[in-house]
């Protein structure tokens, strides 16, 4: 019912030439189109070249961020109308943006509204810090972040978007959450959706796990019933490891 997704967040990596080469390699390694949605989120500069080059390949494209205004005096920013037609998705509120660039639940909410207004599918990121995790605050933090991000959205809008649970302590550390914990927290995200918008919406909305996901742990992660895919950083920068994750997931979902 929910199409599984392997989303590569390339962060601030890859020149245009490198991005094109990596995309071609992935396409060759994955081979025939699978039941898994392959989403590539390269830096902004790579989006247009990739859109052209990958037109015949089975990739969705996503941006890593956007502003909430349509246009204006916001030096260095990119707006949703600029991305419309170019990408399918936009990552919003990644923990690196929250921690390093001052994003808040409020800006995440504004960006989510703006993206939806311009026919972009937000991938809304939530996740607790190590301190919060150790203090036993994970459930409260995730509930608050999900509720704040989705504030004011209709049920139809919520079921169209994607939520990514990315515990901050697992990002780039090689220390992924256990599949069981990841599954439980993604289940909690779904419970919040159920509380806010009912069963149908909760059943349709895709929830991803992110944080040191790799070919070795993806199988256990994807076996979790509440996890619909992964938001992958480091392992998405190598064609082989990303392609392996797509193929392992396709295997799990094959009838």
Residue closer to ligand 13P, measured from CB, 19 or 201: 19
**Cβ-count burial of 152 within 10 angstroms (0-12 exposed, 13-18 middle, 19+ buried)?**
exposed
State the Cα–Cα distance between residues 204 and 161, nearest whole angstrom: 9
Give first-to-last CA distance, the chain, whole Å.
Answer: 13
Number of residues that bind ligand 13P (CB under 6 A): 14
Which residue has tokens 């933090």?
141
- Could you tell me the two tokens for 176? 């992924």
Stretch that binds ligand 13P, among 76-84, 185-193, 219-227, 233-241 (CB under 6 A): 233-241
- Give yes or no for residue 142 binding ligand 13P (CB under 6 A): no
- Give yes or no for residue 198 binding ligand 13P (CB under 6 A): no
- Give yes or no for residue 241 binding ligand 13P (CB under 6 A): no
**85-104 residues near ligand 13P, rule: CB under 6 A:** 94
CB of 49 to ligand 13P, least distance (A): 22
State the Cα–Cα distance between residues 210 and 244, nearest whole angstrom: 16
| DSSP per-residue string spanning 118-174 | TT-EEEEEE---HHHHHTT-HHHHHHHHHHHHTTT--HHHHHHSEEEE--GGGTTSS
CB of 166 to ligand 13P, least distance (A): 5
| DSSP per-residue string spanning 13-39 | ---HHHHHHHHHHHHHHH-S--SSEEE
- Binds ligand 13P (CB under 6 A): choice among 212, 217, 241, 249: 212
- Give yes or no for residue 183 binding ligand 13P (CB under 6 A): no
CB of 23 to ligand 13P, least distance (A): 18
- Give yes or no for residue 210 binding ligand 13P (CB under 6 A): yes
CB of 232 to ligand 13P, least distance (A): 5
Residue closer to ligand 13P, measured from CB, 173 or 199: 173
- Interacting residue ranges for ligand 13P, rule: CB under 6 A: 9, 94, 166, 171-172, 210-213, 231-235
């Amino acid at each position: 019912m929910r199409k599984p997704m392997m989303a590569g967040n390339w962060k601030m990596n890859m020149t245009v030439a490198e991005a094109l080469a990596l995309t071609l390699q992935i396409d060759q390694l994955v081979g025939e189109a699978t039941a898994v949605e392959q989403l590539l989120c390269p830096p902004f500069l790579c989006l247009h070249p990739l859109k052209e080059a990958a037109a015949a390949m089975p990739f969705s494209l996503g941006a890593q961020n956007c502003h909430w205004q349509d246009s204006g005096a916001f030096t260095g920013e990119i707006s949703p109308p600029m991305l419309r037609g170019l990408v399918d998705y936009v990552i919003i509120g990644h923990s690196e943006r929250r921690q390093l660039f001052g994003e808040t639940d409020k800006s995440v909410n504004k960006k989510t509204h703006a993206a939806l207004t311009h026919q972009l599918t937000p991938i809304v990121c939530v996740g607790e810090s190590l301190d919060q995790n150790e203090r036993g605050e994970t459930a409260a933090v995730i509930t608050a972040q999900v509720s704040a991000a989705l504030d004011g959205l209709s049920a139809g809008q919520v079921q169209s978007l994607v939520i990514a649970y990315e515990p901050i302590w697992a990002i780039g550390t090689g220390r992924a959450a256990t599949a069981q914990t990841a599954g439980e927290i993604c289940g909690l995200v779904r419970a919040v959706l159920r509380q806010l918008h009912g069963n149908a919406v909760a059943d349709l909305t895709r929830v991803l796990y992110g944080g040191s996901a790799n070919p070795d742990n993806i199988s256990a992660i994807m076996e979790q019933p509440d996890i619909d895919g992964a938001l992958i950083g480091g392992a998405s920068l190598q064609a082989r490891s990303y392609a392996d994750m797509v193929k392992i997931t396709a295997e799990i979902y094959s009838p």
